[in-house]
Amino acid sequence: MRVRVHTCPQPRRAEHAAVKLKSRLRVYKGAASKLTAMGNFFEDLVHTVMESTLTEEEQDALKAKFHKLRRDVIEDVRNIFPHGQILEPGLPALPDVMEAYATYVNNELPTYLVHVPEKRLVSRQEVKKMYRRDLMAVTEADITKVVEEAAGRSVPTREEAIKALVKGKLKYATFSHRWLERGEPSFRDILMSFRPAGYSKLVNFCEKAAEYDCCLAWSDTCCINKDSSTELEEAIRSMFKWYRDAHACIAYLAEATSIEDLGKDVWFTRGWTLQELLAPRMMKFYGKDWVPLTSSINDKQDVRMLDALSRATGIPHRDLRCFRPGTCDVHQKMMWASNWTITRVEDIAYSLIGIFDVSLTIAYGEGHRTFYNHHQQMRGMGDHGMGRASIR
């Protein structure tokens, strides 16, 4: 039996390899942040080690495996970081811009969003990485421009101008629709790349979001991890704010064929859609087969659409255009809510959290007690209630 024994390379050979590696390292030092440069350096490292320990046949086999792995890694990184977040060294960044960016992403963006071009879920941390380069490129001139463009309106402070820039870079759309009986893509479905029956609706939503220049989107079917009680509670508490802060809300009325018959759509029977109607500042309605019901960019500025929505809901134009949440006009708001139905009893109260701007402990299983506590609190405050209320 033939036994092959590998011996350590001669000192002079090892010294030569070390000098060669140091030379190559100097060449790549200035571009070490670039993925291809890093790949080339490590390729040289592997080749140097192989030449000192392996036969030519063994080297060829290992090189083939290495090149395949290198190509796979580069492709994976490009898929994960489509916006080129491998940053150029020395790219200037304004500290207050980056601080505002981190604060906004961590505290105001939805927990998960759909990345529109790829139809995949991204977390807040992934979003932060995706757009970091864009925010690092913000200059003092950009901030000054925001302030100057406010001429004739209330002039924003520097902090307000920076936040406006951050929100402009991270525009997202929200989706309002009537859930299917079955087949809506879930959080796990999107993570695992499953495509249930309702996936096509999500694709259409993303296409409309892209028309509003949004690369991010939020849908209540797949962007909430319901396996996490913490994330579910945050979503319920924050949903009104997420719809309000969105660049646009895309509303899909699957049965409507025109403005005249939109009030018959089942969308107006789903309890959660009340806040989805009131919260957004910009909203676009699509009917059957995703045909737009108006030619307006923002249907909340379209008088005919406002007339139709008001007839269907009993909500005045003023509140449809610029609703102000709070504990005033309690009776009127409760009347609006009475026209919507909810599957879970607790959701009767939870769907009103943002409308009344209250804090409510999320605890499924309490049934009618949840709504009773909410209703009693609202009755106690009446139309004279001010500020925020805490319901427990």
Chain segment 66-79, per-residue pLDDT in tens: 656 765 665 555 55
pLDDT of 366 reads 56
Instruction: Tell me the pLDDT band of 271, cut-offs 50, 70 and 90.
Output: confident
pLDDT of 339 reads 79
pLDDT of 154 reads 82
Question: Tokens representing 344?
Answer: 């879970």
∠ CA 311-312-314, rounded to 5°: 65
Flag whether pLDDT at 46 surpasses 90. no
**C-alpha span between 44 and 21 (Å, rounded):** 8
DSSP code of residue 156: P
pLDDT of 387 reads 40
More confident residue, 341 or 138: 138
Average pLDDT over residues 109-125: 97
pLDDT of 360 reads 75
Question: Tokens representing 308?
Answer: 């139709």
Flag whether pLDDT at 377 surpasses 50. yes
pLDDT of 42 reads 60
Question: Tokens representing 300?
Answer: 């909340």
**C-alpha span between 344 and 365 (Å, rounded):** 9
Average pLDDT over residues 368-378: 52
Helices (H), 264-316: 273-278, 303-313
More confident residue, 211 or 331: 211
pLDDT of 316 reads 97
* Residue 296 φ then ψ, to 5°: -80, 150
Question: Tokens representing 313?
Answer: 């809901």
Flag whether pLDDT at 288 surpasses 70. yes
pLDDT digit string (tens) for 219-262?
A: 999 999 999 999 999 999 999 999 999 999 999 999 999 999 99
* Residue length of the chain: 392
pLDDT of 248 reads 98
Q: Which residues contact 290 (CB under 8 A, 6 or more apart)?
A: 204, 208, 252
Average pLDDT over residues 176-190: 94
Average pLDDT over residues 178-189: 93
Helix pair 35-53, 56-80: axis angle to 10 deg = 160
Q: Would the pTM of this model clear 0.85, i.e. be above it? A: no
How would DSSP label each residue in 179-237? PPSS----HHHHHTT---TTHHHHHHHHHHHHHTT-SEEE-TTTSS-TT-HHHHHHHHH
Lowest-pLDDT choice from 142-151, 165-174, 297-306: 142-151
Question: Tokens representing 190?
Answer: 């999107």
Flag whether pLDDT at 8 surpasses 50. no
User: How many beta carbons lie within 10 A of that of residue 227, not counting itself?
Assistant: 9
Helix pair 11-29, 35-53: axis angle to 10 deg = 170
DSSP code of residue 34: S
Average pLDDT, the chain: 81
Instruction: Tell me the pLDDT band of 350, cut-offs 50, 70 and 90.
Output: confident
Question: Residues 105, 124: contact at Cβ < 8 Å?
Answer: yes
Question: Residues 235, 224: contact at Cβ < 8 Å?
Answer: yes
For residue 189, the number of C-alpha atoms closer than 13 Å in the C-beta half-sphere is 16
Lowest-pLDDT choice from 23-32, 104-113, 268-277: 23-32
For residue 184, the number of C-alpha atoms closer than 13 Å in the C-beta half-sphere is 15
